[in-house]
Amino acid sequence: MAADLAIGIHDLSFATTEFVLPHTTLAAHNGTDIGKYHVGIGLRSMSVPAADEDIVTMGAAAAAPIVARHGSDQIRTVVLATESSVDQSKSAGVYVHSLLGMPSSTRVVELKQACYGATAGLQFAAGLVHRDRTQRVLVIASDVSKYELDSPGEPTQGAAAAAMLVSADPALVRIEEPSGLFTADIMDFWRPNYLPTALVDGQDSIAAYLQALEGAWKDYTEQGGRALEEFRAFCYHQPFPKMATKAHRQLLRSSGHDSDDSRVLRDIGHTTDYNAAVGNSYTASMYLGLASLLESADDLTGQPIGLFSYGSGSVAEFFAGTVVPGYRAHLRAAAHQEAIARRRPVDYARYRELHGLSLPEDGGDHAVPPQTGGPYRLAALSGHKRIYQPR
């Protein structure tokens, strides 16, 4: 994309839950060597939602600092990407729009394609801004990753939301053309409407991820994208941080490059810190990786970053972004570190209780007990309606 058509990420913010389960606690419960978690999958803890937290409260908490900094007058569209939707019809983004007090002259939609949805939202947003460069688009990725207790997926649970303001002349990252795309009909991970937790075949899902990476990269190169050696760093979707290592090693090898540990660490080492603390946040995962990279790496001004987004089922996209001069002045490192640090650890019994919570389905009037201190909460259900409140 030419410099005079620069469109990309103008601001980036994320939020997570009130509670956290350290993997040391999970390992002590099930007798697992902690190295399997800390080293084997690269996770140290996972965010756990309280009864009054969900994708709406996290999404609003992630987006509120962006609206506070930039205002909402130029935000004509809100796109919320999730695979943890709270309603089969109404977009969760409409609740967020209301909580943030945004103008009625706004379009709001929800997107779904497993963990890929936020990247679809980013690309849709870029197209809208290209059509009208005075407009800005708020893209929110918000998810709760939940698996059955004592299942192989349990250690990779998590929850977070990432919000991005997409605009012309962005302050953080300029999104480049082209993109490399890949789609295949694969049942590696899915959640039928009648199940509260996802179904996953771990080995098939890893294989599907790597197949999609090779396919998207092949298409990216055929579309005239950058050579691999041009990239300063790479951000990957992280169902668990070690997946980024597996993916990048595969990309290096298949492209004829050395894939030793030092090369992999150089290319992705700054992208895993937040995901290691939060766990799998599905649609938000790659964008937490991008925040981690921008906030912890040495000066990236003018440097291209490779971004790989994967959603089971499966859809994938490889694209590039170039870091904008002066980006450091617009980062939110202190707020993001505080969001991680402020979480309250729970013991295994409390985690199990929170995991098993389900909302009433009888359409009656039910107050949701306050458990959190965040800016927004799910306050009640009444007549099958969810009622959210700002604090």
Residue 131, CB-side half-sphere exposure with 13 Å CA sphere: 9
SS3 content of the chain, % helix, strand, coil (to 5): 40, 25, 35
The answer to whether 115 is a known catalytic residue is yes
The arithmetic mean of pLDDT across residues 240-254, rounded, is 97
Our CA dihedral for 82, 340, 306, 216, rounded to 10 degrees, sits at -30
Rounded Cα distance between 369 and 66, Å, is 28
pLDDT of residue 173: 98
259-305 pLDDT, tens per residue? 999 999 999 999 999 999 999 999 999 999 999 999 999 999 999 99
Residue 255 has pLDDT above 70, yes or no: yes
State the catalytic residue, choosing from 18, 53, 83, 110. 83
The arithmetic mean of pLDDT across residues 213-232, rounded, is 98
Whole-number Cα distances in Å, 146 to 48, 140, 287, 344: 9, 19, 19, 19
pTM of the model: 0.97
- Contact between 29 and 354 under an 8 Å Cβ cutoff? The reply is no
State the catalytic residue, choosing from 10, 23, 97, 237. 237
pLDDT of residue 203: 84
Rounded Cα distance between 377 and 54, Å, is 8
User: Taking the CB of residue 231, how many other CB atoms lie within 10 A of it?
Assistant: 15
pLDDT of residue 9: 99
Residue 57 has pLDDT above 90, yes or no: yes
State the catalytic residue, choosing from 23, 110, 115, 235. 115
Our CA dihedral for 16, 320, 44, 368, rounded to 10 degrees, sits at 20
pLDDT of residue 202: 75
The answer to whether 83 is a known catalytic residue is yes
pLDDT of residue 198: 87
90-118 pLDDT, tens per residue? 999 999 999 999 999 999 999 999 999 99
Q: Which amino acid is at 235?
A: C
pLDDT of residue 160: 98
What's the mean per-residue pLDDT of the chain?
A: 96
All domains of the chain, ordered by start, with CATH? 3-390 (3.40.47.10)
- Contact between 80 and 96 under an 8 Å Cβ cutoff? The reply is yes
Per-residue confidence band for 4, with pLDDT thresholds at 50, 70 and 90: low
- Contact between 300 and 232 under an 8 Å Cβ cutoff? The reply is yes
60-85 pLDDT, tens per residue? 999 999 999 999 999 999 999 999 99
